[in-house]
Amino acid sequence: MDWRLAFFVALFPPKTIATRMEFVDLFAGLGGFHLALSELGHNCVFASEINEKLRDLYEKNFGIRPKGDIREVPIECIPRHDILCAGFPCQPFSKAGDQLGFNCPRWGDLFDFVLKVVAHHQPTYLILENVPNIEKHDEGRTFKAILAKLRSEGYDVDRRRLSPHQFGIPQIRDRIFIVGSRNGLDRFCWPEPTNVKPDLRTILDEAPEDVRELPPHYIECLDVWQEFVKQYPSLPVRMPSFPIWSMEFGATYEYEHTTPHEMMKTKAGRARLREQRGSHGVPLADVPENKILDALPSYAKKPQKRFPRWKIRYIKQNRDLYQELKPWIDEWIPKILPFPSSLQKLEWNFKEGERDIWKHVLQFRASGIRVKCPTTAPSLIAMTTTQVPIVGETKEEKRYMTKRECARLQSLDSLKHLPASDHLAYKALGNAVNVKVVRMIAEQLLHPTVAQVHMSLFDNPAGDDGSTDRLGVATVESPTEKVVC
């Protein structure tokens, strides 16, 4: 070891070298970025959040009152800062939305406002977060434009997809993170997944007081699906890897080269459709002409000339499954009919494991009922309270995860106050960033270690411009002026 490095290590034992910096928290929500950076010793000087109730809660938790819609805040009213954090709204880019991107009338322009703040204040560091589909939106052009705009403002940028479960946190939540630095990213390294096996039980409470039990008809539906799973051929035959769409059992409507919507446009097409069968084998000849589309699965009656390839594949797989297991499926079908279409679909999201629905983690989604491995919870989403993960091995424990348990999935354990309303709490948790994942990224970006600064210390002494100190750490003079707006 170089004697100079040995001397330095003796003075500064291996740990991160930090300077207290100031950050802004845009689209703050519950304050995941705030918690992560404040745990590292940094100070929040500004926050924005459009939801008034979340602004009240943020002030209650952190002692700082966020401004409202960032589009209505004058740039000069935002204090100078070293770090800009923004989990800008994902709805324009999410697979679950319309994917209108920058053309989304409600949220599409928000990234441009982030850029305006960046251009005006030129913070040294950026940490941004969004859904992974933003990389693929508009065939990748949207994401390329985002990176190009950040680079044009003088930042080295990098991105990576990370999920909490890669670090032992029991939630599968794939998100893309973008980091930027005006000092370059030569010393930056993304946190490496630990691959520690998560255990959902570590964040569950015993007999929580604020538990929400499942409605009886949900339990009845899950019991019907448990009967299906129990009758399915045992190992070595595995459960289907594709979504099980029960409405395709017995259906014969055309799907490979046309769609029912297209067939309804012509007299010949309507006549041909009448000879076929709809959801769960309902004869379309028995249905009034103006009700034919209602007798089809919801995904089969959209106004499109051809189904996408993935939908054609799923329909074929389900019809093949029905033909293979027809005798007992025909006896099972009447039991699933009383439930809404979203409950007539099942996704078995793992290969191995006990075939008992109640021994796993469940989630009701618009795409169907998801059954997941009990080591992790599915991604929290900003939707209705009915899509909260479900746990429980006994009848008494068949319940939704509580707000506090879901907060632990986002590493928001230290957040003292959560929204009083279940709807707002679960929505906010579904929009939140995972605190531990952000902290690990920020630690690598903002806090160079002894080993990382070795080259900067001995081979790259500070220049005359004062942009770095002797450790190669950015030295940004903390703003002292008070901004009143």
H or E segment and range at residue 44: strand 43-47
Which is the catalytic residue, given 44, 85, 90, 221? Answer: 90
For residue 75, the tally of other CB atoms under 10 A from its CB is 12
Q: Residue 317: CB partners within 8 Å, gap ≥ 6?
A: 240, 242
Contacting residues for 222 by C-beta, under 8 A, at least 6 apart: 214, 357, 358, 362, 369
User: Which amino acid appears at position 453 of this protein?
Assistant: V
What does the DSSP 8-state code read for residue 341?
G
Closest by CA to 126, choosing from 76, 171, 88, is 88
Question: What angle do helix axes 309-336 and 216-231 make, rounded to 10 degrees?
Answer: 110
Q: Give helix 52-62 / helix 32-39 axis angle, nearest 10°.
A: 20
Q: At what angle do helices 422-431 and 52-62 cross, to 10 degrees?
A: 80
List, in sequence order, every beta strand (DSSP E) within 141-189. Answer: 156-162, 175-181
d(CA 366, CA 389): 14
Assess whether 221 carries a catalytic annotation. no
**Residues taking part in catalysis:** 90
